[in-house]
């Protein structure tokens, strides 16, 4: 049977949306090269190269977030290390920022890993935009470790601390995703930076009986 036919309508719609978005980025990349690639000015050519690389980096981030393989479980360190590397290329390196990543070995259900990836993307993006204003360098650390029951994810930066009490749209999205995962979110902020800690629970006994999807 055709695997596409067997998929739920929602999954098909999601795949179609992902493909359309990636096609848009590909078209934008082509237009940038076509419209500005012929300029002789070295500064323009350099700018085209930089923006072209960033478009490709954003496309890589999107592909990782919308990973469409049919595996039910995702290798956490591999998936998130790739995501952080792509975010560094797209968001951090152009600003002189760096990202350190470390994770305990283990797997997560695909939908959980994708939501966790969205949380990490939002926190890194927020830090890149707001934490290092007036600075030419900075560091963001992403860590994921196994706890007694579940996982603990920490995203921390050495920036200037949260503005507006961390109540912007970005943090609202993070809190919503954390709630969807049944997790507990804690935010610590001072003049030395921000640390966001997300505690994710183990699955319910029903989920464990069905095959213990959260595995170390």
Enumerate the domain spans of the chain.
69-206
Of 126, 141, 124, 131, give the one whose Cα is nearest residue 161. 131
- Reported CATH class of domain 69-206: alpha beta
Position 198 scores a pLDDT of: 96
User: With left for phi above 0 and alpha for psi between -120 and 50, is residue 72 left, alpha or beta?
Assistant: alpha
Angle between helices 169-180 and 110-130 (to 10 degrees): 160
Position 213 scores a pLDDT of: 37
* Residue 98: strand pairing partners: 139
Q: Return per-residue pLDDT of the chain as tens, 216 residues.
A: 444 444 445 455 545 655 565 566 666 656 666 777 677 777 776 666 666 666 666 666 666 766 766 678 889 999 899 889 888 887 788 888 999 999 999 998 888 888 898 899 889 988 888 889 888 899 999 999 998 889 999 999 999 887 655 566 678 889 998 999 999 999 999 888 999 999 998 754 333 333 333 343
User: With left for phi above 0 and alpha for psi between -120 and 50, is residue 161 left, alpha or beta?
Assistant: left
Q: How far apart are CA 124 and CA 22, in angstroms?
A: 22
Position 128 scores a pLDDT of: 86
Q: How far apart are CA 100 and CA 143, in angstroms?
A: 8
Question: What DSSP character marks residue 200?
Answer: E
Position 205 scores a pLDDT of: 38
Of 138, 118, 116, 117, give the one whose Cα is nearest residue 127. 138
Of 143, 122, 118, 124, give the one whose Cα is nearest residue 199. 143
95-117 per-residue burial string, b: 16 or more CB within 10 A, e: under 16: eebebebebeebbbbbebbbbbb
Position 22 scores a pLDDT of: 59
Position 154 scores a pLDDT of: 97
167-206 per-residue burial string, b: 16 or more CB within 10 A, e: under 16: eeebbebbbebbeebebebebebeeebbebbbbbebbeee
In 158-200, which residue ranges form alpha helices assigned H by DSSP? 169-180
Of 158, 168, 211, give the one whose Cα is nearest residue 189. 158
Position 16 scores a pLDDT of: 61
Question: What DSSP character marks residue 93?
Answer: G
């Amino acid at each position: 049977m055709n695997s596409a036919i067997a998929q739920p309508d929602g999954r098909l719609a999601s795949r179609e949306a992902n493909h359309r978005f990636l096609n848009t980025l590909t078209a934008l990349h082509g237009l940038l090269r076509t419209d500005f690639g012929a300029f002789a000015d070295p500064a323009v050519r350099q700018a085209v190269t930089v923006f072209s690389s960033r478009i490709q980096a954003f496309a890589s981030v999107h592909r990782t977030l919308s990973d469409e393989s049919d595996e039910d479980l995702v290798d956490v360190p591999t998936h998130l290390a790739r995501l952080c590397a792509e975010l560094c290329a797209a968001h951090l390196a152009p600003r002189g920022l760096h990202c350190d990543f470390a994770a305990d070995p283990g797997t997560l259900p695909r939908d959980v890993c994708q939501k966790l990836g969205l949380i990490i993307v939002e926190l890194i993006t927020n830090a890149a935009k707001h934490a290092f204003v007036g600075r030419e360098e900075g560091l963001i650390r992403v860590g994921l470790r196994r706890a007694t029951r579940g996982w603990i994810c920490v995203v921390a930066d050495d920036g200037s601390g949260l503005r507006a009490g961390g109540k912007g749209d970005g943090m609202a999205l993070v809190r919503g995703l954390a709630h969807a995962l049944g997790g507990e979110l804690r935010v610590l902020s001072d003049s030395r930076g921000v640390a966001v800690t997300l505690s994710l629970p183990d699955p319910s006994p029903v989920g464990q009986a069905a095959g213990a999807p959260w595995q170390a």
